[in-house]
Structures are given as structure tokens and as C-alpha cells.
A and B are shown apart, each in its own frame.
Chain A
Amino acid sequence: MLYGKQTVIISRDQLQCIGLKTILQEFFNAESVITSQDFNSKVHECSPDFLFLPSDIYLAHGLQVKGIKSRIIILTNYTPAEGMSDNPYMLNITSSQPELIEQLQMIFNDNVEVPNGSPQEELSGRETEVLKLVARGFINKQIADMLNISLHTVISHRKNITRKLGIKTVSGLTVYALLNRLITSEEIE
């Protein structure tokens, strides 16, 4: 859920930093979590998507904190009343682990856009052309000549094909092309 998102945790309590960081990584696939002992310019510079900090630091640096665009989550020891405010959010640190995870899930659900489908992962027309030729047994140089493109372009298409399909070997790509009727077995060189 937090893949590709930047998160900063500010707390003097190292255990709190480590604990929260672990939860974010294990349960929410957080990629980049930075922890810091205090609110400083570094935090400002990296303008994280989510910023966790205890209420005393929030109060002390109120204006500066408000100046950054992050979603702010204040670590408190009480549960906010119904209709929880979303600016800033509150996270009750005295909650049990399942409760913490549920609260975090609600916060992230509100703020992380889930893309519809995966349009980026479909092969483009050109990539399909390259795939067909690879599957038929042509080498990169031949493909470049046949499609009238540079060797470099062929290689970059091939990288994209492998990344999108999750298939790395030529024989694997051949099976893929046959399964999807992009080529027939008679066409294989």
C-alpha cells in the first residue's frame, strides 16, 4: 500500500520509531521510511507523503509542520472522538497491535489512490511485434533490421517485455507467444 511513498517518523523514543517502522514495512509494504529524533530542515526537504510525530513536537513546531504538504499523523495516547479529524490524523499509541493496524489502514485507505486495473502493464504494439520475433527465434540484431529500429531500441523493448510479463528467457517468451496465439508453432525458426 505504501509502495513508492515516502514516510517520516519523528520521535525521541527510538523504540517507537523502530516499532512503527516495522509495522509500516511488514503490513503496508512501506518502501522508504525515515526516522528522525527531532523536527528539522531535513524533514522539510524530503516532503514526505506521511509524517508521524508525537503531539508535543507537533505543538512545538505547529506552524512549520502545517507548512509542509504531508499527511500528518499525531501519535497520542487517547482515542479521538467519533468523526475523527483527518487533518491532522490521530493514532492512539496505547492501542493493541491489531487496533493500530486497523487505524493505519483507515488512514492509508483515505489517502492512497488505488489505480484501476494496470494499464501500464499491457504490452504496447511495438513490444508485441518485438516479442513475436523473439519468440520465433530471431536475435536482437535481426529484429533491429527487420523492424528498422536501432539495436538499443530492441534491447529496451525486450527489457520492458520481461518486466511486464515476468518472463525472462527466450523459450519462456516463445511459450507465452504460443499460449496467446501471437505466433504458431510453424513460424518458429
Chain B
Amino acid sequence: MKLITPDMKLADAIHSNYLLIPVINRFGIRLGFGESTIAAICNEKNINVDFFLTILNVFSLPDYFPEQKMQTFNVMMIVEYLKKTHQYYREIQLPTIEKRLDLLIEKSPQINQNLQLVKEFFNGYKTELLAHLRKEETVTFPYVEQIYKMYNSDEKESAYNQLAGYSMDIYEEEHDEVDEKLYDLKNILIKYINGDFDQVIISEIIFELFRLEKDIKDHTRIENNILMPLVADMEASLNVRKL
């Protein structure tokens, strides 16, 4: 797969990796963009083209991660993007998987207790993921926003006194646990499901789980490797005391 560049037609970028469709949606770009180049579309939609390309390339190329460039991005722009990915998980991907699981149970010719078990396991995963997303939205992102405002205000001196001793470090651990459940769910469906079930629907569920896993990995990479270092830099210059 090659690097996506501003002179490329957005349609060609999608042809090279169709999984980018939901990613461009997060920037408010809808399908039907004709022959336009990425630069033209970003210009029209008032999207920072550097940021847009970086997100697309990070998503597409596992070994691509231009940290220096990313350090120049505006923190709020990153938070905005992360919020959009949350919205996508919550409103699109999780409900899609849930509907498929319900269909799987419904279509099973006899009552298969095992499918019910899988559904319950998924519900557990979903609850944890939603709780994690909510925590980021109600605690982490507002904290980032606050520190960003202080960083850009003139009264830096008194700033750190107003900040609660919140640390970004709790982040990674929680991520891991939620991610492990998704990993388990995939293996349960691939290796250990038994009894009577609809092969086609279960394949669709597995596709969705792989897609969700990839998206979450990418999301975590952006949080841990771009957002957190940027916040840490601001914290350092504001003298925020870590607990």
C-alpha cells in the first residue's frame, strides 16, 4: 500500500483501502466526491489537509507514524477526531454487531444456548467499552481542553493550582482490558463456537469484530503516541504536579 498524498484523488485513496470510508466520514466528507483531489476537498470543507492525510496514512499503513509531524497538530483537533471515532463505535459499529448477534440467535433453528452465552459476553464487552468511552469524554477530554486553554492563556502562573491531580497514566491499563475482551470474543467465535448456527451471519460478525479491533488499535495509537505526549509537554510547561 502506498502513501496517500494531497494530489491524489480521494476516490483513488478509497480504492487503495476501502476501510477508509468511515474515517473520511468522521471529517464530514460524504461519498459522491467525483474526481476531486484530497487537497481540493479539504480546502472546500475547511479541513487541515496535513492532519487529514496523517490520520488516513496512520490508519492504512501499520509502519507509518510520523511523530514529529504529529507533534505540530493542534490538540483540540485531535480530540475532535477522537470524539468522532467514539461516536462511530457507539452509534454504528456496536449496534451493527448487536443486531447481527440477535439475528444469529433468531435464525438458529433450535435454541442454541451457546449463542446466548456469546451474546452475554458481547454485552459485557459493550458495557465496558461504553464506560471507557464515556470516561474519556467526561474526564480525559475536558482535562485536555482545560490544560490547552491554560497553556494558551496569559495567566500560566496560577494555572496549575486549578487542575485536579488527574493523570493520563490510568489510560493504557484500561484500554488493555477492554481490548482483551474483544480479542477473546473473536477467538471464541473462530475456534470454540459449537452447536447449530448460521455460518454466514457469524462470518459477518467476525468481519465486524476485526474491523472494530483495527479501528480501536488505531485510535489508541493516536491517543497514546500523539495526544498524551502533547498533553505531557503542556503539563510540563505549566508545572502541573503529578500525583
Q: Do the two chains belong together in a single complex? A: yes
Chain A residues in the interface with B (C-beta under 8 A) = 165-169, 171-172, 175-176, 178-180
Additional pairs, 14, CB under 8 Å, beyond known A169-B184, A172-B184, A179-B192:
A165-B192, A166-B183, A167-B184, A167-B187, A168-B180, A168-B183, A169-B180, A171-B124, A171-B184, A172-B181, A172-B188, A175-B121, A176-B188, A176-B192
Q: Mark B181-206, 1 if CB is under 8 A from A, else 0.
A: 10111011001111000000000000
Q: Given A179-B192, A179-B193, A179-B194, check contact A169 B181 (CB 8 Å).
A: yes
Question: Which residue of A is nearest B180, CB measured?
Answer: A168
From A165, A167, A168, A178, give the contact of B117 (CB < 8 A): A178
- B-side interface residues, number (CB < 8 Å): 17
Chain B residues in the interface with A (C-beta under 8 A) = 114, 117-118, 121, 124, 177, 180-181, 183-185, 187-188, 191-194
B192, A180: Cβ atoms under 8 Å?
Answer: yes
A172, B117: Cβ atoms under 8 Å?
Answer: no
A166 to chain B, nearest CB (A): 4
A167: chain B residues at CB < 8 Å are 184, 187-188
B191, A172: Cβ atoms under 8 Å?
Answer: no
B177, A166: Cβ atoms under 8 Å?
Answer: no
Question: Which residue of B is nearest A167, CB measured?
Answer: B184
B188, A175: Cβ atoms under 8 Å?
Answer: yes
Question: Which residue of A is nearest B188, CB measured?
Answer: A175
A45 to chain B, nearest CB (A): 31
Question: Which residue of B is nearest A173, CB measured?
Answer: B184
From A165, A172, A179, A180, give the contact of B185 (CB < 8 A): A172
Q: Give complex CA distance A180, B113 in Å.
A: 12
Q: Give complex CA distance A31, B118 in Å.
A: 35
B184 to chain A, nearest CB (A): 3
